[in-house]
Amino acid sequence: MILLFNRFKKNKKEKEAVELSAPVTGTFINITEVEDPVFSEKMMGDGFAIKPFDKEIYSPIEGTVTSVFPTKHAIGFITTNGVEGLVHMGLDTVDLDGRPFTVCVNEGDTITSDTKLALVDLDMLKTENKSSDIIVVFTNLNEMNQQLEFLGKTDVSKGDIVGKMRQ
């Protein structure tokens, strides 16, 4: 009888939705509107983007940092429900060799929507003629049987709930 109850608890937990927070204050855009086909055609996975008004980038989810790219333009994570993802800062920013980014986390760090991931020098991106879009992409949604739902907000503040991930 206890085993049956524990099994029910586990299934109930697996079906709980994971909230997605805005990692920065700005304008929410659908990933299909990002001006890079790798993201807009969902080659890496589904997600969303924000055109930032602020330089402080926070985690969009609860989880763990799995990687910090050497060029500091992207931070990998795994959510508490096992979905892998990435916060990608700007477009075509690899060739800037990390100059516009100050990373505030390390691999293995536990993160929440209150965790500052990085600072982005938006003026430098503009000077270098680079898009400043902050892209959140989930790379294994299909394998994890997860789907994204968005609330349809346009202007968001850091920490606003912008959607949910659910089975």
C-alpha span between 84 and 65 (Å, rounded): 10
The pLDDT tens digits along the chain (167 residues) read 444 444 444 444 446 789 999 999 999 999 999 999 999 999 999 999 999 999 999 999 999 999 999 999 999 999 989 999 999 999 999 999 999 999 999 999 999 999 999 999 999 999 999 999 999 999 999 899 999 999 988 999 999 999 999 98
Residue 153 has a pLDDT of 81
Two tokens, residue 131: 């898009």
Degrees to nearest 5, angle at CA 156 with 154 and 161: 105
Residue 16 has a pLDDT of 78
Two tokens, residue 33: 């509107």
Structural domains of the chain, with CATH: 16-166 (2.70.70.10)
H or E stretch including 118?
Answer: strand 116-120
Residue 15 has a pLDDT of 61
Catalytic residue among 55, 88, 130, 158: 88
C-alpha span between 122 and 127 (Å, rounded): 9
Is 88 in the active site? Answer: yes
